[in-house]
Every structure is written in C-alpha cells, then in structure tokens.
A and B are shown apart, each in its own frame.
Chain A
Amino acid sequence: MKKFFYAFTFLTFCYVILNANAKINSSINPVSFKLNNGLTVILSPIDNIQAACVLIYHTAGVRDDPLEIKGASYLYQNLMLLGTRHLEPYERFFFVQKNGGTSGVKVNFDNSISYQIIPDHKIDNALWIESERINSLIISNKNINIQKNNTYKRIYRLMNSNIAFKSSTWIKSQIFEATVYHIPLYGNLEFIRSFDNSSIKRIYDNFRNPSKIIMVISGKFDSKKVKKTIKKLFSYSFQKKKTIKRKYISIKPRKKFIYKNQMIENIPQNFSIYGIRAPSKLSYDYLYFNFIKYYLVDQRFSELERIINIKNRLNININYEYTDNIESNALIITMSSVKRINLERAKFLLNKKLQSLMNFRISSSSFKALKSLIEIDFMKSMTKLEKRSIMLAENFHLFGNLNIEETYLKRLKRATSYDILRICRKYLSKNNRVILNVYKK
C-alpha cells in the first residue's frame, strides 16, 4: 500500500511538471519533410491559438518568365482566383471570408505567395482549395485577355496620370540597371497585350511544379492528420524536365551616380526621389542595412523627420519604399513640398546626413533603441501567422534551415555600430545613388 502511495505521489508530480512545461512550450519547433514528387512541407504548430495559416510559397516568380513574355506571371495574381475543376471563380476568396479569415495572392520577381488564414477547424478545406488551385486552375483565353487588358489599362492610367508612380518606376529601373529586377514586375507595358496566350498558359507549370513549392502550415493543427491530408491532396505526379536549382548571387552596390531634373506643368508639389541600391537578402549586410532604413525613415524613429521637420521646420512630406527582392533591393526616399526652397534645404540636409553616416558611427543611445525596435518588430512578425509562414518559407528556400528565430536574434545581438558604419560606407556612397528631381514649371 505504501509503495503504491509513493508511486502515485511520484506520478502526480511528473504530471504536474509535464503539464506546466506543456503550457510554456506553446510554439513547437518547425519541422519539414518532402513528398515523393519533391514538394517541401514545413509544419510550424502553435498551440495557444485557434487559427491556422496555409501558405504556398512558389520559388518561381516573374524572373522565371520566358524573355518574350516577361511579366506574364504577374497576371497570375488575378488568374489564381479564377475557377477550378470544382470551384467557381472567386469561391476560394469567399470561402475564407465566410469563415472570418483572410487570404491573398502575390507574385514577386523571385517568388510567389498564396495564403489563407482560417479557423483551425477549416484547415482540411483550405488545403483542398489550395490543391485545386495548383492542380486544376481553368485558364481560358477569354480570362487571360481580360487580365491582360485590365493590367494594361491600370498601368497605362497610372503612368499617364500619376507622376509619382511614373517617377518611382524610372528610379527603380535605374537602381536595378543590368540586374534581373531592371524591368517592372508587370513587364514592358507596350507588350502586355501582345503576350501569347498559350505561352502564358504554359507558365502555370511553374506554379504546379512540386519541386518549386514550399508549403507552410502554421498555427493550431493536428500534425498527423495534416500530414495525411497533404499526402493525399498534393502527391500528384508532375512530368517535367529536371529543374535546375537556381543559384542566387548578391548584387553589389552601383558604381555610377545618376541625377535627373524634370520640369512639369500642373503638379501640386515639387518632389525629389532618392534611390539607394540596398543589399541582397542573402548577405549579412541586409540586416545591418535595416538599421539604416529604420534610422532614416521608419516613422517611429525617423532621423530625417527630426532634422528636416522638427529641428528645421521645413514642412516636407517624407515617404519611403523598400523592395522585397532576393538578390538586390532598393531604399527609395521621396521628399515633397509646395515650396521649392524648402525642398532644396531638405535635400541639403539629407545629403549632409548621409555623409555624416559614412563618416561617424550613430550614437550609442540611438543604436540601442534601434536594436530594440528591430528586435520587437521581428518578434511581432513571428507572432503573425502570415508573416511567420513567409519568413519560414523564405529562410528555407535561401538557407535550407528552419531555426530562423535563433539565427536572426543571434545576428542581431552581435551587430555593433561599427558594422553599421561599414554598411553606410558601402551603400550610402554617392555612386550608389539615383536622384530624380521633379519641379513645377
């Protein structure tokens, strides 16, 4: 009896301790496996929520398009929402809406992403819908023509009525000169309508090719059940020539300064756009450049805002854009003002700031605050299912590992203000800048 009593006590203790640990480990380390057809699956369970994300990351994007229809993949951003063998057009979108979730499709240069955030009990349906999109999308000539015309009209209208859009397109083409990102995502506007429909249909194979798919399931789900469903729905055979794994290369900063002035009638404001070629996602420099981006333009920190608008009261609108490419990126800063004199002073201050960043380290207090902010933003992204899934897929695609949190934080903690100084010297030099000034006539 006594023995039984002690055994019972011991077991109870074990149970209590295990139960406590189970509560602490609400997010379990992600695992990956491959299906026989080459499709990669990453499972990242999180127990303390009741939602799940089904994300399909295609390692194919606009850069994979044949030269004569470059930009055709961009049309798939809408074509992907059309009907399949068993689904009506837009039914995928409505399914997610009906269940209180969100969804999206995005085609980039290097990759394409399609995701659904759904309540955990609908995960099987979400997987089935994705399998429909991959296996039986109905792409008719009529639909392709509609998309070609819509894209052409939208871009044409923007190019002719939105001077900011036109200027930004020009800046990007100059920053990425002689790289794969040289032409816009939608391709050459003149040729969109003459893209060959059968060639566009053939691009669907890029999205179907299982060796170019990384599927990420994150959130609450039963791993065993999900694995079984994935195997059932995605083990399709795909006959294609052997796909050669692309080798990505980090593109170096530019070596030639470009400067252009334009005088235009009837524009509400004068503006200047500064384009800076930024590091590749493959390099450590990418993280360090983040410090510069946050330091200069992030709304919560913006040093430019401080020196231009708070200290010198120039009343300048400052906006920025940061691209999301693998081999090379661009930080584009736009400053606009009704008064040209203020804009000129702001440009002077920006140039001075860029020069001082190349000469001196940023202050220790600013560096510490930036480090905290970047770390918080990263942690916040990891709590959002969509962002977490994208980061997992991208990290696996580029580096083949899943311990993203540990790697990123280790790198971030090691960063010093000297690293930032080195990156400033490398990327903020005059030769790596493209400037466009647009003034009122």
Chain B
Amino acid sequence: MYIKNNKFMRNTIILVLFILFSFYLQADQNIINLTSSKGLKIKIIKDPSLNFIHAEILIFYKKKIRNPAVLYLTIENIFNKYVNSSGSEILSNLKKLGNDFEIINRPDFIKIKINFLPDKISLFVNLLESLYTYKSFTLEKFNKSISNYWKYFFENSEWKKKIVFQLAYNKLFSEHLMGNTLITQSLLKQTYFPQLQLFYNNTYKLNNSSLILKGNLNPYVVSELVEEKFKSYKKEKKIYYKETKLQTNKKQRIIILDINRNGLPIIYRFKVIPSLKSKNHIAHLIINNILFGLPTGKIFRNSLYFGIRNLNINSEIINHKDVSVICNTIKLNLRDIEKLVFLKESEKRKLKIMKIGKNEYLNALNYLYGKFKIDSEKIENDVQIEIDKSLYDLKSDYFKIPPIKFNNIIRQVSLNELNQIISNSITFNNRYKNFTSEVIIIVGNSKQILRYFTVLEPEIIKFYIK
C-alpha cells in the first residue's frame, strides 16, 4: 500500500509539474526572443489569426554625427526609387515582397516597416541580407540625391510636419544627438560621398539592429534562415558609445516658420515630458488631456469665451529613451493665434491655483483608458509595446500591455499626486523647473500671421520653396 501510494504521489507530482510547465509555455509562447550568432536581436510575436507578416527593422543611431544630412542622404541613396532609377537589389527585393513598406526616420533610430505574405519569408531574409551588405553607393546616385534633395522633400505630402519636427527637436535638444535633425542647404553642400559610406558601415550593422516580426511564423524557421543567410557575414564587436546626458533647452520659444503660403496656419506645440520609464509620464499625459483634450479640455471649452472659433486639436506622443515629447497640432483662424497662446498660459496657471478637480481627472483617465483600448485594434500595437518594453527597459506593469485595465492606469497617479506634480512644475515667474521645455511653431505666411500679433514677438524662420 505504501509503495502504491508512493507511486501515486510521484505521478501526481509529475502531472502537476507538467500542468505548470504547459501553463508557462502558453503564457510565453506568443513572444519569442532570439539573438542570431551575428548579433541581430529578433523578436517574434506569434499571431496565428494574422494572414500576413508585419515586420519592423530598427537600426539605432548611437553616435552624434555632426552633419545630419548624412543620415537622411543614406536613406535616400538606399531606398529612394528616383535616386535608384537604374534599379537596386533592395528595391527589387521589396517589390517582390509586394512593395508595402514605410521608412520612418527618427532622431534616435530608423524604422523600416514592411508587410508581406508568410510564404515570402525567405525573400524577406534576402532583403535583410541586401540591407546589411549594401554595396551600391555610387557617386552618381549621391550627386543625384544631393541635387534633388529638396525636390524629393517637397514631394512628400507631409513635408510641413517633417520640417516642423526637425526644427522643434533642434530647438529642444540642440546639444544632443536628438537635436541633430535640421538640414539646411549649406549642410547639404558640406556633405561628401565617403561620409555616407562610413556612416553606413558604422551604423547599418546586425548587432546594432532589432527585428520584430508579427504573424503566423515558425521562429525556428526564421532563425535558421537568418543564420544561413548571414553565414559569411563578419561578426563584429559591439561598439559601446558613451551616451551623453540629454539636456533640454528650458527656454520657451514661439517661432513662425514662414513658408510664404497663404491659407490657414497650423500650430505645433511641442512639450517635453518625462519618459515612459518615469512614474510621472502618465501624469503629464493626463495634464495634456485636461488642457488640450477635445471636447473636455480646458482650452477647447474656454476657447469661445476668448473669441476663438473653429478650433481643432490633435495630440501625438513620441517616446524616446530619456524623455517623451507631446506634439499638439492645432488648426484655427489667423486672428486667434495670439489669443490661443494666452489662453494656454492662463489655463496652465489656473491649474496650479485652482487644482485639478475629480471630474477632470476622471475624464482624462477615461480618455486614456479608451485610447489605449482603441489602439489595440492596430496591427502595430503589440509590436510597438514590445519595442517600448525593450528600448525603454519597461517592466511587466507597463500600462499599455493588454488587457488594459482601468485600475492599472489609475494606480499610476492619484489626484493628489497629480496636483503635486502641477504645483512643482509650474511657477509664476514664467520659469519652469522640471521637464517643461516647450516650443510653439506656427506654420504659414509670417506677414499674414504677424498682422494679428499685438504683444508677442515670435522668432521668424524663413523656409521658402523655389
């Protein structure tokens, strides 16, 4: 009997261990982390319901390059179809994959997004090979990319936003890699062909990149294909650059970006807030919603009292390692710009004196809760969460990880803490303590805009199209 019982106990323990192991596997089977022998970090998000593969390649900029034109021109030389009019291996591989790709150039990394069908995974690995062993830089292409830089720039439908972001980052982080964004004609003239090759060789490396794939994929097949393709790729030692501490320019600036075009102006307001890693990050998102939210935000609600009509506000958050940046895009009539700047300042000060009310706090939380849930619809959402987690070293309680729970968000910051943060960060003498760098850029015709300015004296930067 004793022996029998012992056997039963052993079987039960094995069974319990098996169940625990299977639960562990299930919990983790959706995300698989791999690192290739040549240093490429691969993350696979298994989603059997997705009938195509969504891939994102991240290549990091670690060292400050004096001339930011080098960064942009490298991308143009590799990916621009007009520059590569005689064809290139990368473009031909992209075409074979379906040509559904997008290049996003950020101050800290370049992101290449590609969608393709699962049966084309080996073609995708061919594309990776052509990207990391690119040898088609030619002087002819380089000259073409320089001479046509502005032509290609203005062909992009979002060129205004692009130049505004370059300018804003340049003003916010002028002493850092992140502020190395603004490209001018004189910088283009100072760019030489060897600089591009050198930059490519130092940056476009497997051990300086991350690959995230989402879809119905077998991770081992991907891993084997990558290993096989990069068999002869020379393994390089990872170079560690000393990271310079990010310092933001504390001065508040108002700039008119004069593009010499009539029509309704667009106002971009950039505000630096604590990074995703910081506990105060979400507090600043709440403050942004209380001020700029639509329709519950203070600015929208009080705009009519200030005589501001047809106000339209959008908010976008861009995350970086040490900070995050909120960009509010505001569309309104010419005559209302100055009023809006004053309204924003007065509402901000009122926040400190009158404190945030419970309703406002809950409305903002409710908005964030809804927004994070709505974001789960996007294919890129969980890819972005994984990128955030690994880039910004976030813990498992990151509030965007699904399932989104109201408690997880409310736990981040209480109403008292929020009011404390406000009273710490806003002072009356127009000087700001922590993370309050702010730049307002008004895009339009400076003559038209200035006609309605009576008190403020904004800086004017001309950006004319020939």
Residues of A within 8 A of B (CB): 1-2, 5, 8-9, 12, 16, 19-20, 23-27, 48-51, 94, 97-102, 117-122, 219, 300-301, 306, 309-311, 365, 368-369, 372-373, 375-377, 379-380, 382-385
Contact = CB atoms under 8 A, between A and B. Distances in A.
27 contacts: A1-B8, A5-B8, A5-B15, A12-B15, A12-B18, A16-B26, A19-B26, A23-B30, A23-B48, A24-B49, A50-B402, A51-B376, A99-B366, A99-B367, A100-B370, A100-B373, A101-B374, A119-B373, A119-B374, A300-B100, A310-B85, A373-B99, A375-B52, A375-B98, A376-B100, A376-B116, A379-B50
A9 B11 CA distance: 10
A99 B375 CA distance: 12
Contacts of A101: 370, 374
Given A49-B376, A98-B363, A369-B95, A122 B370 contact: yes
A98 B85 contact: no
Contacts of A16: 19, 22, 26
Contact of A373 (B26, B98, B372): B98
B159 to A, nearest CB: 14
Given A5-B8, A310-B81, A373-B100, A50 B49 contact: no
Contacts of B116: 372, 376
B373 A27 contact: no
B101 to A, nearest CB: 8
A48 B377 CA distance: 9
Given A8-B15, A300-B100, A385 B377 contact: yes
B437 interface: no
Given A24-B49, A49-B377, A100 B367 contact: yes
Contacts of A25: 49
B52 A384 contact: no
Given A98-B296, A119-B373, A48 B26 contact: no
Q: Which of A26, A219, A380 has the most CB of B within 10 A?
A: A380
B99 A300 contact: yes
A118 B296 CA distance: 17
A306 B296 CA distance: 48
A311 B85 contact: yes
B316 to A, nearest CB: 14
Given A5-B12, A23-B26, A372-B117, 14 more contacts: A5-B8, A5-B11, A8-B15, A23-B30, A26-B48, A50-B404, A94-B295, A98-B363, A100-B373, A118-B374, A121-B373, A373-B98, A373-B100, A379-B50
A369 B123 CA distance: 12
Interface in B117-132: 117, 120
Contacts of A98: 295-296, 363, 366-367, 370
Of residues A27, A300, A382, which shows the largest number of chain B Cβ atoms within 10 Å of its Cβ? A300
A12 B372 CA distance: 35
Contact of B96 (A8, A369, A385): A369
Contact of A97 (B81, B100, B101, B295): B295
A117 B374 contact: yes
Nearest to A219: B377
A388 to B, nearest CB: 10
Contacts of A384: 377
Contacts of B15: 5, 8-9, 12
Interface in B81-99: 81-82, 85, 95-99
**Which of A16, A94, A122, A372 has its CB near the most chain B CB atoms (within 10 A)?**
A372
B99 A51 contact: no
Nearest to B49: A26
A377 B370 contact: no
A101 B367 CA distance: 9
B96 A376 contact: no
B379 interface: yes
Interface string B25-48: 010001000000000000000011
Contacts of B254: none
Contacts of B180: none
Nearest to B117: A372
B29 to A, nearest CB: 8
Contacts of B370: 98-101, 118-119, 122
A2 B7 CA distance: 10
Contacts of B117: 372, 375-376
Contacts, number: 124
Contacts of B48: 23-24, 26
A416 to B, nearest CB: 18
B346 to A, nearest CB: 24
Interface in B420-451: none
Contact of A377 (B100, B101, B372): B100
B387 interface: no
Contacts of A1: 8
Given A5-B12, A20-B26, A376-B52, A12 B85 contact: no
Given A5-B12, A301-B99, A372-B116, A379 B52 contact: yes
Nearest to A25: B49
A372 B120 contact: yes
A309 B82 contact: yes
Which of B22, B47, B98, B369 gathers most chain A CB within 10 Å?
A: B98
Contacts of A119: 369-370, 373-374
Contacts of B115: 376, 380
A325 B424 CA distance: 58
B120 A51 contact: no
Residue of B30, B51, B82 with most partner-chain A CB within 10 A: B51
A158 B325 CA distance: 38
A380 B52 contact: yes
Contacts of A118: 370, 374
Given A98-B295, A376-B52, A120 B373 contact: yes
Nearest to B85: A310
B57 interface: no
Counting from the closest, the 10 A-B pairs by CB-CB distance are A100-B371, A100-B370, A372-B98, A99-B370, A119-B373, A50-B373, A119-B370, A373-B98, A26-B49, A300-B99
Contacts of A376: 52, 98, 100, 115-117
Given A118-B370, A310-B82, A380-B115, A51 B100 contact: no
A97 B376 CA distance: 17
Contacts of B367: 98-100
A102 B82 CA distance: 37
Interface string B282-309: 0000000000001110000000000000
A372 B95 CA distance: 10
B69 to A, nearest CB: 23
Nearest to A122: B370
B88 to A, nearest CB: 12
Contacts of A121: 373
Contact of B379 (A102, A120, A309, A380): A380
B403 interface: yes
Contacts of A24: 48-49
A32 B295 CA distance: 36
B152 to A, nearest CB: 11
B368 interface: yes
Interface string B2-16: 000000100110010
Contact of B50 (A5, A8, A383): A383
A349 to B, nearest CB: 15
A368 B52 CA distance: 16
A313 B172 CA distance: 39
B295 A372 contact: no
Contact of A369 (B98, B376, B379): B98
Nearest to B87: A310
Contacts of B50: 379, 383
A330 B367 CA distance: 41
B234 to A, nearest CB: 32
